[in-house]
Amino acid sequence: MARPARFFPVSALPGAALLLLTFGFPLLPAASAMEAVDFHQAVARALSNNAFVSAAGEEAVSARRDADVARGYLLPSVRFEEKFVRTSVPAEAFGLKMNQEKLLATDFADVRNFNSPPPRNDFIAILSLEQPLFAPKAYIGYGMAKTEAAAKGQDLYRRKEDAVYRVLAAVLDVITARQFVEVEGHGLSDAREHLRIAESLEAAGMGLASDVLRAKVAVASAEGAKVTVENRLELARRGLALAMGEPGAPPVDVTGLPPEFPDPGTPEGEGTAATGRADLRASSLRLANAGSNVRLRQSGYLPDVGLAAAYQVDAEDSPFSPDNRSWKVGVGLTWNLFDGMRREAELGKAVAERRRAQAYHRGMRDQAAFEAARADLGVKEATLRGEIARAALASAEEGVRLLTSRYENHLGRMVDLLDAQTALDGARAARIRAENDVRLSRAQRLYASGGLLSFAAPNEENGKEKIR
Q: What is the pLDDT of residues 339-360, one digit of tens each?
A: 889 999 999 999 999 999 999 9
- Mean pLDDT in residue range 383-407: 89
Mean pLDDT of the chain: 83
Query: pLDDT tens, 249-293?
Result: 789 898 888 888 877 655 455 544 566 789 999 999 999 999 999
CA distance 293 to 229: 57
Query: pLDDT tens, 148-185?
Result: 999 999 999 999 999 999 999 999 999 989 888 988 88
* pLDDT the model gives residue 363: 94
Residue 228 has pLDDT above 80, yes or no: yes
| CATH topology (fold) of 37-76+134-305+341-456 | Outer membrane efflux proteins (OEP) (1.20.1600)
Residue 192 has pLDDT above 80, yes or no: yes
* pLDDT the model gives residue 264: 65
If one compares 417 and 323, the residue with the highest pLDDT of the two is: 417
Using CA atoms, how far residue 209 sits from 203, 206, 408, in Å, is 10, 10, 15
Residue 465 has pLDDT above 50, yes or no: no
- Mean pLDDT in residue range 301-310: 95
Residue 196 has pLDDT above 90, yes or no: no
DSSP letters, 322-371, are TTEEEEEEEEEEE-----TTHHHHHHHHHHHHHHHHHHHHHHHHHHHHHH
Strands laid side by side in the 77-87 sheet: 77-87, 120-134, 304-315, 324-334
Residue 390, judged by CB atoms within 10 A of its CB (0-12, 13-18, 19+), counts as middle
